Amino acid sequence: MPYLQDGRPVDMVFNPLGVPSRMNVGQILECSLGLAGGMLDRHYRIAPFDERYEQEASRKLVFSELYEASKQTANPWVFEP
């Protein structure tokens, strides 16, 4: 069973080749935002079709939250652009 550097087990492991055929990118963004929210002790409510506010709005939100979680928890593996 894979685990993180601090000993916690990994919740999800997937093959990147299976993503385009079985998942949509939104599901990956949701999982990533959930990871950041768990580390920052935050909850998120995202409106459907949030791209109407700005191009790449979902991706920007997820990346900024992952970056903040990486800095606050001193875990560089959380966000590696």
So where are the chain's domains?
Answer: 16-78
Q: What's this model's pTM, rounded to 2 decimal places? A: 0.69
Q: Running DSSP on this structure, what letter comes out for residue 9?
A: B
Mean pLDDT of 39-44: 93
Mean pLDDT of 10-38: 79
Average pLDDT of every residue of the chain: 83
CA 41, CA 38: separation in Å to the nearest integer? 5
pLDDT-derived band at 67, boundaries 50, 70, 90: very high
pLDDT-derived band at 22, boundaries 50, 70, 90: low
Residues 6+ apart with CB under 8 A from 21: none
Closest listed residue to residue 24, CA positions, set 64, 72, 58? 58
Strand partners for 9: 3
